[in-house]
Amino acid sequence: MRLDEYVQHDAIGLASLVKAGEITPLELTRLAREAHDEVNPRVNAVIEFYEDAESVAGADDGVFAGVPFLRKDTGASEAGRLQEKGSRLFKGCRPDTDSYYFRRAREAGLRTLGRTTMPEFGTSGMSQSILNGVTGNPWDLDRSAGGSSSGSAAAVAAGITPIAHSSDGGGSIRIPASWCGLVGLNPSRGRISGGPNNQDASFGRSREFVVCRTVRDMAAALDVFSGPRPGDPFIITQPKRSYCEELSQLTGALRVGVARTKWGAVDLEPEVLAAVDSTATLLEEMGHRITEIEPPYESAEYSRIFLAGSARSAHLLGETAQAMGRTISADTVEPINLKIYEYGRRASPFLTGDVQELMRKMWVRVAEAVEPYDILLTPTMPTVALLHGTIYCTTNPTLSAEEFMEADAALYQYLGVLNVTGHPAVSLPLGQSPNGMPIGLQIVARFGDEATLVRVARDLEEARPWRERHPRVWAGQQH
């Protein structure tokens, strides 16, 4: 198989070739390395391609048998592998915990070949850090790939691997999926275990999953990574059938709430609103009932939750640094994260309780607002990918912690609220700007109802296919 052929397949497609004996996992690993060597010097998505990549283990009979995979540099961990969280503070750190996530990845046949870039601690939705530099968007290298799953999204968009590990604590899967033209699902709270050592990250706001190029890969990944494990704080209702089986089920007529107005301070770009309207019309043509909805919350509510959580975050970061024998300072932590840490240290310890109460109120308010609808259609982001070096970067020395959180809530206005409430939401690459930049649209389902998301996403992918759209930086066939 040539490189220009490798990049045309999604993960399920490559696995089917392995199972048919048409290619071996080792050959796929070498193709991923070839793609990496060609495009990574331009996009800076992968910070480490494992020296022992050709001997990485993975089941030969799993759903993703032999498929190359990459790991985001935070969250789920591989025992003994570097995990630096995009930060100088964690330079050289190697956790001794093998997450359930990566055990399931290996059992499914995925070969994890390296790790990807991210902004420090995943705080920002941009794609740069002092430790690892700037990750370019394969569609336009001058623009952000999004964050915090920056490198994973850029690597998949550029063709290094067809699927990669990602995580989402406030939009960190959906932002880069939107800006890099990918499928990015943030599952329901509790759908995927964070164990054995991180079962309830940020009170359930942060979830692990993948970024990929096709809906069938998303469905297969849900089957692979879903399911409770010992120690999980609660067990979510399990699906009636596999998510891959949902791909062949009828969708039925749905009640669709459409967000055409902004939910935060940043205005919708005209091309984003046009993509929302076009997709709403498409859903209506499919037989669904469309109703325009008002914002279900105030963005200041989300900012308060984020700031209130800083006390707990500061305590945990301080404990971790002390255990490592390291010092938190301007030499180890980026400007915004240092200000958030200092804000959290000054804050009352009772703010942890405030976080839970603020989240509870938002759960109720948003749940009541969206209850009349089977799904919501919203923009993923109010803008196309921004240029590098905006105020939203944690390297920015000019903003206070409060100003950064307000800016964060304004830009990621359709995203973080769903991390708080626990609803599943997927960004699909359904639009393009006049200059060819991807525009992601978000489909939100009721809590625990990923099955409906799979069916609706399948319908939209079939009606408005995106697989033939490729970025300028694309392995094997540069534009």
Is residue 354 a contact partner of residue 301, using CB atoms and an 8 Å limit?
no
Q: How far apart are CA 322 and CA 319, in angstroms?
A: 5
Is residue 201 a contact partner of residue 209, using CB atoms and an 8 Å limit?
no
* Closest-CA residue to 215 (of 3, 419, 464): 464
Backbone angles phi, psi at 407, to 5 degrees: -65, -40
Six token digits for residue 416: 């973080």
Is residue 308 a contact partner of residue 354, using CB atoms and an 8 Å limit?
yes
Is residue 42 a contact partner of residue 141, using CB atoms and an 8 Å limit?
yes
**Active-site option among 77, 167, 172, 433:** 172
Q: How far apart are CA 96 and CA 5, in angstroms?
A: 38
Six token digits for residue 344: 């959290």
Q: How far is CA 69 from the centre of its chain?
A: 15
b/e map 427-460, b = 16+ CB within 10 Å? bbbbbbbeeebbbbbbbbbbbbbbbbbbbbbbbb
Q: How far apart are CA 454 and CA 459, in angstroms?
A: 9
Q: How far is CA 36 from the centre of its chain?
A: 21
* Residue 96: count of CB within 10 angstroms of its CB: 8
DSSP 193: -
**Active-site option among 124, 148, 149, 152:** 148
Q: What angle do CA 141, 178, 106 make, to 5 degrees?
A: 95
Distances (CA, A) of 259 to 88, 268, 330: 40, 11, 41
The edge-to-edge listing of strands for the beta sheet with 111-116 is 46-49, 111-116, 68-72
Which H or E run includes 417? helix 416-421
* Closest-CA residue to 58 (of 14, 6, 91, 124): 14
Active site residue 172: yes
Q: How far is CA 32 from the centre of its chain?
A: 21
Q: How far apart are CA 471 and CA 406, in angstroms?
A: 32
DSSP E strand stretches across 153-192: 163-168, 183-186
Q: How far is CA 187 from the centre of its chain?
A: 10
Q: How far apart are CA 50 and CA 324, in angstroms?
A: 24
Active site residue 240: no
**Active-site option among 72, 188, 202, 303:** 72
Q: Which residues are known catalytic residues?
A: 72, 148, 172
